[in-house]
Amino acid sequence: MSDKAYEALVETLTARGIDVEQVKNRLKKQHIETPSWGYANSGTRFKAFAWPGAAVTTRQKLDDAAMVHKMTGITPTVAVHIPWDRPEDDDYNGMCQYAEAQGIRIGAVNPNVFQDDEYKLGSLGNPDPAVQEKALDHILECCEIMPKLKSSILSLWFADGTNYAGQDSLRARKRRFEAGLETVYKHLPPNSRMLIEYKFFEPAFYSTDIPDWGTAYAWALKLGPQAQVLVDLGHHAQGVNIEQIVAFLLDEGRLGGFHFNNRKYADDDLMVGSVNPYELFLIYNELVAAEQSEDEQVRQTAHNVAYMLDQCHNIEGKIAPMIYSVLNCQEAYAKALLVPRQALADAQQAGEVLAAHTILTDTFRLDVRPLLAQVRREMGVPEDPIAAYRASGYEEKIRRERGTAAASGGFQ
């Protein structure tokens, strides 16, 4: 991007009353967490496609996450999945040190209570007390792992549900879950949070035990202030207004984090912003408005939101798509920061419907690439991260060294 393009954009924004230096400072503090599993082979229920160079060990996943951070400057943490990322001899201290040596840190810890055969009928919601106990023991183990990895977030997603009417008691499943989550909450490390994710269907198709944000919110209220809701952009029915959910949870102090991705039909786990970039902008618009709120609880909630990617890169590669998703989040955040808040508030208060709407749409149409290029130059990261990654030779290196593997493994 040319200096002239940046200077022209600065002139336009200044005329709108935007403090460009303040916007740049906030962009430099943006933080997107990438998922370890996103660097490994993955697929649909029909087929997992092996990708040359895909990470197999957790060390390789951490290496790839470090490369994304090197290219973007705003991805300093990586989420891990246990037991997928369990280290040999349970050396979590060594795992933590390895990540830090690569210039990144471990982020959220994600238990896995959906993959074993015993979980066919659910985990905490399973009618078998022995299976409930197995799932609970694993989640409590993850609570013990968190301090070892310097993690402050326990990210909970459950595949629990039923496929057929009459298969199980819906109220009994609710109570089993409440009892299990209450036990987990009591074992959370100090100054940590548990984020409760929801999903309205899949893999269960008749009922899902945590089907919507309202259920997750109700349980978070029952549990206490360390429990919040995690919003996955793919976990909603068609046409759901996700930004309204975000606004509600922000106002209640219960928005804990995101799993950013995009969808066309269901939980497609596509690159964030690839299908509906306007929706992504509108979500960030609510977040930025909350960051600037006069309400201290709302403001604190917004500043503590955990921004995480959760995507399934099946046919487009691994690392470059992760970089692209980060850039899409960066662009949406930049545009949200450029919304003239006072002008929008005035139009809303006056009932000027079209004026308020066009303030948002005009901001969304701004080309913020010159601004982001300048921010990256000042941060000392590549102006064009995708081009820089392709020129780095890293992709060729890992393809040559790792080959093509059909499975992903643990920390080695």
CATH number for the domain including 234?
A: 3.20.20.150
What is the structure's pLDDT at 44? 73
**Alpha-carbon gap, residue 234 to 38, rounded angstroms:** 16
Quick: pLDDT tens for 59-90.
999 999 999 999 999 999 999 999 999 998 89
**Alpha-carbon gap, residue 206 to 168, rounded angstroms:** 11
User: Mean pLDDT, to the nearest integer, of 294-317?
Assistant: 96
State the pTM of this model: 0.96
Q: Is the pLDDT of residue 53 over 80?
A: yes
User: Mean pLDDT, to the nearest integer, of 115-134?
Assistant: 97
Side-chain half-sphere CA neighbours of 59 within 13 A? 12
Task: Answer whether residue 169 is part of any domain.
Answer: yes
**With bands split at pLDDT 50, 70 and 90, how would you rate the model's confidence at 48?**
confident
Cis peptide leading into residue 385 (ω within 30°): no
Task: Answer whether residue 378 is part of any domain.
Answer: no
Task: Answer whether residue 78 is part of any domain.
Answer: yes
Q: Is the pLDDT of residue 55 over 70?
A: yes
What is the structure's pLDDT at 3? 87
**Alpha-carbon gap, residue 271 to 320, rounded angstroms:** 11
What is the structure's pLDDT at 411? 53
Task: Answer whether residue 409 is part of any domain.
Answer: no
**With bands split at pLDDT 50, 70 and 90, how would you rate the model's confidence at 39?**
very high
Task: Answer whether residue 352 is part of any domain.
Answer: no
The H-or-E segment that residue 231 falls in is: strand 227-232
Least confident among 57-61, 87-91, 305-309, 348-352: 87-91
Task: Answer whether residue 374 is part of any domain.
Answer: no
Question: Of 296 and 410, which is predicted with more confidence?
Answer: 296
**Alpha-carbon gap, residue 11 to 4, rounded angstroms:** 10
**With bands split at pLDDT 50, 70 and 90, how would you rate the model's confidence at 47?**
confident
Quick: pLDDT tens for 196-245.
999 999 999 999 999 999 999 999 999 999 999 999 999 999 999 999 99
213, two tokens:
């944000």
Domain that holds residue 302: 30-338
Task: Answer whether residue 332 is part of any domain.
Answer: yes
**With bands split at pLDDT 50, 70 and 90, how would you rate the model's confidence at 2?**
confident
Residues making up the chain, counted from first to last: 412
The CA–CA distances, whole Å, from 213 to 219, 231, 241, 244 equal: 10, 8, 12, 11
Instruction: Count structural domains, the chain.
Output: 1
**Alpha-carbon gap, residue 287 to 110, rounded angstroms:** 24
The mean of the pLDDT values for the chain is: 96
With beta carbons less than 8 A apart as the criterion, state whether 256 and 225 touch: no
Q: Who's near 42: CB < 8 A, 6+ residues apart?
A: 48, 312, 313, 314
Task: Answer whether residue 198 is part of any domain.
Answer: yes
What is the structure's pLDDT at 407? 60
**With bands split at pLDDT 50, 70 and 90, how would you rate the model's confidence at 409?**
low
What is the structure's pLDDT at 405? 82
**Alpha-carbon gap, residue 259 to 278, rounded angstroms:** 17
Quick: pLDDT tens for 145-193.
999 999 999 999 999 999 999 999 999 999 999 999 999 999 999 999 9
**Alpha-carbon gap, residue 131 to 72, rounded angstroms:** 42
